[in-house]
């Protein structure tokens, strides 16, 4: 069981921000990644639509004998993680906006969360915010257009900088000192955000914490692969495999295979 792959899926390429952390922390694990770019973005889809898409992807990953599945998408986690855990026997790791560390470490008692509409409406976000941010002002902003910018590899375009600046400036004006990235696409925008935000604003990418949780779950279920092997990285996409390939070439020097589904 331990040498079977880990499955990872996202609405598109955003979950690669989690994948790049997984291969650092879990270098002996085979990983199968599914990018549902044909149906991206998920942000404004209904809960029922997202659950149906997630079911189809999970069943494909289980056919590939995945021992654990990482839902590397905040919107899909918010909509579907409870359903998936109830209906499938493998462990699932979900995304959660890192409101807790931002709230606990905020000096100004004002933090920002940049996410999709679907994430803000999800149980995990609402429960975490209510529990850990009682004395902290949470200023939320829907990242309109940001997923499409990452999916189409327009990150370094001047229009992207202008658009991001317009989105985050109202949050800066509210004296925030932490910005939580509540969508796995958004960490790819960190180089641009760093040029826009004041130095006092700490940007929080939840991916490292999520991968640490994945490690703990693998260990506690005794399915962590401790054998030193050459891992295989397989990617499936419902979208443009050339776009995925270009994105991966900029992200890693690891060998991988891409298949269109």
Q: Are residues 87 and 214 in the same domain?
A: yes
Which has the higher per-residue pLDDT, 1 or 80?
80
Residue 172's pLDDT is 96
Q: Which domain holds residue 253?
A: 6-95+208-260
Active-site residue flag, 40: no
Residue 65's pLDDT is 98
Q: Round the average pLDDT of the chain to a whole number and report it.
A: 95
Residue 1's pLDDT is 77
Active-site residue flag, 66: no
* Pick from 123, 89, 133: nearest CA to 221: 89
End-to-end CA distance of the chain: 26
SS3 content of the chain, % helix, strand, coil (to 5): 45, 15, 35
- Catalytic residue, from 35, 102, 181, 183: name it: 183
> Domain for residue 1, yes or no?
no
Which has the higher per-residue pLDDT, 175 or 228?
175
End residue of a domain, out of 188, 205, 222: 205
Residue 197's pLDDT is 97
Pairing of strands 110-115, 178-182: parallel
- Catalytic residue, from 13, 16, 73, 210: name it: 73
Residues 29-46, mean pLDDT to the nearest whole number = 96
pLDDT tens per residue, range 52-61: 999 999 999 9
Residue 96's pLDDT is 84
Q: Are residues 68 and 144 in the same domain?
A: no
Q: What's the structural domain count of the chain?
A: 2
Q: Which CATH number characterizes residue 189's domain?
A: 3.40.50.1860
Residue 15's pLDDT is 98
Residue 122's pLDDT is 82
Model confidence at 90, pLDDT cuts 50, 70, 90, reads very high
Residues 6+ apart with CB under 8 A from 91: 68, 69, 217, 218, 221
Lowest mean pLDDT among 52-66, 72-86, 93-107, 160-174: 93-107
């Amino acid at each position: 069981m331990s040498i079977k792959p880990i499955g990872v899926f996202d609405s598109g390429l955003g979950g690669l921000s989690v994948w790049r952390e997984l291969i650092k922390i879990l270098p002996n694990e085979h990983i199968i990644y599914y990018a549902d770019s044909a149906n991206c973005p998920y942000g404004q889809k209904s809960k029922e639509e997202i659950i149906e898409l997630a079911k189809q992807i999970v069943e494909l990953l289980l056919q590939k004998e995945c021992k654990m599945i990482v839902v590397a998408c905040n919107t899909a986690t918010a909509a579907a993680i409870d359903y998936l855990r109830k209906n499938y026997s493998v462990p699932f790791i979900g995304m959660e906006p890192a409101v807790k560390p931002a709230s606990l470490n905020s000096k100004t008692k004002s933090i920002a969360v940049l996410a999709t509409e679907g994430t803000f409406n999800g149980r995990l976000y609402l429960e975490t915010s209510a529990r850990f941010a009682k004395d902290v002002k949470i200023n939320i902003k829907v990242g309109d257009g940001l997923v499409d910018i990452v999916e189409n590899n327009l990150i370094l375009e001047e229009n992207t900088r202008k658009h991001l600046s317009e989105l985050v400036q109202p949050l800066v004006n509210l004296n925030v000192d932490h910005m939580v990235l509540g969508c796995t696409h958004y960490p790819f925008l960190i180089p641009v955000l760093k040029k826009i935000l004041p130095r006092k604003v700490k940007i929080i990418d939840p991916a490292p914490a999520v991968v640490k949780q994945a490690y703990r779950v693998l260990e506690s279920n005794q399915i962590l692969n401790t054998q030193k092997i050459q891992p295989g990285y397989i990617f499936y996409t419902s979208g443009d495999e050339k776009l995925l390939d270009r994105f991966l070439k900029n992200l890693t020097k690891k060998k991988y295979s891409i298949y269109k589904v």
